[in-house]
């Protein structure tokens, strides 16, 4: 039923399997535009590369940085992430300091990672440390004011895997981590970037209401809400920022 609901609400998805507002494609289109052939990229929270299971080829390929730049370094707290086939090098995060050299990164990517960060000050300090002058940061994270994050905060972390199994059938339990939402508001993200002198753009984005694919009525109601809700309440935040040059 989920595909039939989506195709009725977004008929363009019948041609290629994705909608015009697909959040992953919108976000990674800009990431790819910022990536250069000679760049060193850092994939923060790289995971096992679970997007290899995405049946939509154009969306899966958009997320792959390897082969489009000089080197991709994967950084993760989970040692299993070293099996990610889309990184050239793996760095295990087992302390507050990232095992990455100062000013060595041209593009840092954190896709649905910030909500899992317990110490945002340290995260942005390390981000600023590893980026070269002129380097860019690309972040995608849930908006704490969006209904998805509000509901998530009401559900204890121990139940997240079972809930996501019902709403996102391709999400595996080993890819679900505790959430904190300590820097998941546009204003907080802007202040963190400003603290390090970054030129930053932080804004809300709303994709299709995939969490409601179980019900045609709920899906259509959520679709109407998505179209009408103000930027401050959109479910996702995109952030693109450039480190200042001397």
Q: What is the CATH number of the domain that holds 235?
A: 3.40.50.150
Task: Give the pLDDT mean for 157-183.
Answer: 60
Domain count, the chain: 1
pLDDT computed for residue 175 by the predictor: 56
In the chain, the largest separation of any two C-alpha atoms, in whole Å, equals 55
Question: Tens digits of per-residue pLDDT, 112-139?
Answer: 999 999 999 999 999 999 999 999 999 9
d(CA 151, CA 128): 32
d(CA 57, CA 212): 23
Question: Tens digits of per-residue pLDDT, 14-68?
Answer: 999 999 999 999 999 999 999 999 999 999 999 999 999 999 999 999 999 999 9
**Can you give the pTM of this predicted structure?**
0.90
Structural domain that includes position 16: 2-242
pLDDT computed for residue 213 by the predictor: 86
């Amino acid at each position: 039923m989920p595909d039939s609901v989506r195709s009725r609400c977004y008929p363009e998805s019948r041609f290629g399997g994705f909608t015009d507002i697909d959040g992953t494609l919108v976000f990674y289109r800009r990431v790819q535009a910022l990536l250069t052939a000679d760049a060193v990229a850092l994939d923060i929270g790289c995971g096992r590369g679970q997007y290899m299971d995405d049946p939509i080829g154009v969306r899966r390929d958009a997320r792959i940085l390897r082969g489009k730049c000089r080197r991709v370094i994967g950084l993760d707290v989970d040692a299993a992430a070293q099996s990610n086939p889309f990184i050239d090098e793996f760095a295990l995060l087992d302390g507050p300091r990232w095992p990455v050299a100062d000013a060595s990164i041209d593009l840092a990517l954190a896709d649905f990672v910030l909500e899992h960060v317990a110490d945002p000050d340290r995260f942005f300090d390390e981000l600023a440390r590893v980026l070269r002058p002129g380097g860019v940061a690309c972040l995608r994270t849930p908006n704490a004011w969006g209904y998805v994050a509000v509901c998530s905060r009401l559900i204890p972390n121990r139940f997240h895997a079972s809930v996501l199994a019902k709403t996102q059938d391709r999400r595996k339990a080993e890819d679900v981590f505790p959430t904190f939402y300590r820097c998941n508001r546009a204003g907080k993200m802007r202040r963190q970037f400003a603290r390090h002198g970054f030129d930053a753009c932080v804004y809300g984005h709303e994709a299709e209401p995939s969490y409601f694919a179980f019900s045609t009525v709920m899906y259509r109601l959520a679709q109407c809400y998505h179209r009408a809700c103000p930027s401050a309440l959109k479910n996702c935040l995109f952030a693109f920022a450039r480190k200042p040059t001397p």
